Structure 1
Amino acid sequence: MEKRVKEILDKNKKYIEGGNLPTYIPELRNANKDALGIYISSLDGTEWGAGDYMYPFTIQSISKVVTLLIALQDRGVEIFEKVGMEPTGDAFNSMMKLELIQPSKPFNPMINAGAIAVTSMIFGNYEERFDKILGFFRKITNNPKLDINQKVYLSEKRTGDKNRAMAYYMKDVGVLQGDVEEHLDIYFKQCSIEVTCRDIANIAAFIANKGVLPKTNEKLISDEYIKIAKTFMFTCGMYNASGEFAINVGIPSKSGVGGGIMSVVPNRMGIGVVGPALDSKGNSIAGIKILEDLSNEYDLSIF
């Protein structure tokens, strides 16, 4: 399989040309558009990578899956009193339905508004909450050196006006409690955690293993909350291309505008892909093609 994965990666490099680097976070324009890598972490203990699998990138929206799990551990399903469970069909940073739909609340935790609301519900003060998030990331990636990319964090903070507008609107309608700027700052930091394909493959393997760390057998998250996270990944994880991805690939996945895609093959493996060149929906253009070929060849679809 290792040799074949490299062949699949090489075959799909041609799609990079049709993608673009994101522009709305200025620092992300400095990414290497041509980078393309994949890492697979199987639950039987075997791991391997191909291409630029150690290329560093910021986790961005993939972080939403992890903060959802932390918030569920802290508060349980009561978080869904403030955040919905349905796909939107809109862009990840759209705020249109916040005002159109009553009562007003974000449609799901995988869009920006929903993720900001979820982060705000994690227990603790400002320092405790981010320390909890970063510590959990370090544990489930098995990477104690994981940290934020300061340049990307500051770039997001300076230019995050749309996220700021959504957050203040949610404060006005009672979705957010407390200090809006503190919630936003934690959100910008969580999105700016710098990872590699190996790191996100390890997170995916943890989820594929029902909340148990494969290397230590330590149970960290309940089966119920893992099931919720996988469902959101499947229905909403690839922005407003989630339905098409579900048909063509069929694996619970979450993408980020840093170019990463984290994919969970339940009870089998975790997959991390990076390709900073994005399609019009904000997903790695070559990364999607790699996962499509991989799923078809090895029958990874959950259907």
Structure 2
Amino acid sequence: MEQILQKIIDDNRQYTEYGNVATYIPELRKASKNDLGICVVDMDNNIYEAGNCGKKFTIQSVSKPITLALALMDNGKDKVFSKVGMEPSGDPFNSIMKLETSKPSIPYNPMINAGAIMITSMIKGKNNADKLNRMMNFFKNLSGNENLSINEEVYMSEKLTGDRNRAMAYFLRSEGVLTENVEDVLDLYFKQCSIEVTVRDLARIGVNLAYQGVDMLTGKRLMDEEVSKIVKTFMVTCGMYDASGEYAISVGIPSKSGVGGGIMGTVPSKMGIGVFGPSLDEKGNSIAGIKVMESISEKLNLSIF
């Protein structure tokens, strides 16, 4: 398997030249454009890696399915989906436009920024410190990594430059959709996006989703089976921003991308996949990472369709 993965990395590294690292968050400019790595964890806990698999990067939007799962378990799906829709938006992940034109003014889905901010606002806790602790513990349990932490430099960079996210949150507040303190919600959201991971962490989360929310190592249920199904459905329909339809056809694996260069894939009842490639296309997805996912899907016949 590792020979297959290494060939996939070698064949697709050339595509890193056709994209660029994210620059709208200043700290992300420091990423190495040509990095490309992959990890696969199967249902027997075999771990296979190739490429720049040891590099740490911030999880960014790959966090969105995970916080969605936590919010669903905290609140139930009826409450969650009274505040956030279930449909693809067809717009960029940071678009504001449809918030104002749609009535009621709720975000289209939990995978775009406005929707993810709403989801973060629904995580329960006595205060922000308690909410962050619960969130981090959930990420640590799903990834099997007790050492997960927040990259403080990226967090501060996002907090200082996150004016578009701030605009979305205050608009949602003005419409009565977001009822929590805006700055507290945004602080938690910026920290959520700044959790530092490796491809192995993403693959481990992916395999636990593939196992319907049960930790395959301990047998402990980490999320309800219905929640894991909802999360994977959003990953198929909205997980790759406004390239989700094309990706579903070419790859066919429930996935979520982030502007840090990560892609998390979950192949039901088979495996979890983590990919890292910080060179992004114009839609904010890892340009070589998508090629890697296309290659592994074709090579191992992993499409769910």
Q: TM-score, normalization: structure 2?
A: 0.99
- Paired with 1:101 and 1:204, the residues of 2 have a C-alpha distance of 33
Q: For residue 43 of structure 2, what is the amino acid of its counterpart?
A: L
Structural mapping, 1:75-224, within 5 Å: 75-77=75-77, 78-124=79-125, 125-224=127-226
Q: Please say if residues 207 and 272 of structure 2, whose CA atoms lie closer than 8 Å, have aligned partners that are also in contact.
A: yes
CA deviations on 1:230-288 (whole Å, 9 max, x unpaired) are 00000000000000000000000000000000000000000000000000000000000
Decide whether the 8 Å contact of 2:148 with 2:196 is kept in 1. Answer: yes
Q: Distance in 1 between matches of 2:129 and 2:261?
A: 28
Give 3-state SS (helix, strand or coil) of 2:92's partner.
Answer: coil
Match of 1:274 among 273, 276, 285: 276
CA-CA distance at 1:218 after TM superposition: 0.5
Contact 2:142 2:222 in 1 (8 A): no
> Percent of counterpart pairs with the same letter?
58
Match of residue 68 from structure 2: 68
**CA–CA distance in structure 2, aligned partners of residues 298 and 126 of structure 1:** 43
- Distance (whole Å) between structure 2 residues aligned to residue 165 and residue 73 of structure 1: 28
Cα deviation digits, residues 141-167 of structure 1 (max 9, x gap): 111110000000000000000000000
What are the residue-to-residue correspondences of 1:26-65 with 2, within 5 Å? 26-65=26-65
Provide the C-alpha distance between the structure 2 equivalents of 1:220 and 1:248, rounded to a whole number of angstroms. Answer: 30
AA in 2 matched with 1:277: S
What displacement does 1:45 show? 1.6
- Cα deviation 1:158-206 (Å, max 9, x = unaligned): 0000000000000011111121000000000000000000001111011
Offset of residue 123 of structure 1: 0.8
Hey, what's the Cα distance between the residues in 2 that align with 1:178 and 1:284?
Answer: 33
- Is the deviation greater in 85-94 or in 44-53? 44-53
Deviation at 1:2, TM superposition (A): 1.9
Structure 2 counterpart of 1:10, one-letter code? D
Residues paired across the two proteins, number: 303
Q: Which moved more, 1:268-277 or 1:216-225?
A: 216-225
In structure 2, the residue corresponding to 1:171 is in which secondary structure? helix
Cα displacement string for residues 82-103 of structure 1 (whole angstroms, at most 9, x for unaligned residues): 0000000000000100000111
Measure how far apart 1:208 and its partner are: 0.5
Shift of 1:219: 0.7
Unmatched tracts of structure 1, length 5 or more: none
User: Relative to structure 2, which stretch is displaced further, 216-225 or 80-89?
Assistant: 216-225
Query: Are the equivalent residues in 1 in contact too, given 2:106–2:177 (CA < 8 A)?
Result: yes
1:16, distance to aligned residue in structure 2 (A): 0.5
Q: SS of the counterpart of 2:62? A: helix
Query: Which runs of at least 4 in structure 1 moved beyond 6 Å after TM superposition?
Result: none
Q: Secondary structure at the match of 1:40?
A: strand
Residue by residue, what CA displacement relative to the aligned partner does 1:111-152 show, whole Å, maximum 9, x if unpaired?
000000001011112111111111111111111110000000
Query: What is the alpha-carbon distance in structure 2 between the residues aligned to residue 269 and residue 29 of structure 1?
Result: 31
Q: Counterpart amino acid of 1:119?
A: T
Contact 2:141/2:222 (8 A) holds in 1: no
1:227 aligns with 2:258: no
The amino acid across from 2:97 in the alignment is M
1:287 to 2:273 alignment: no
TM-score under structure 1 length normalisation: 0.99
Aligned to 1:263: 265
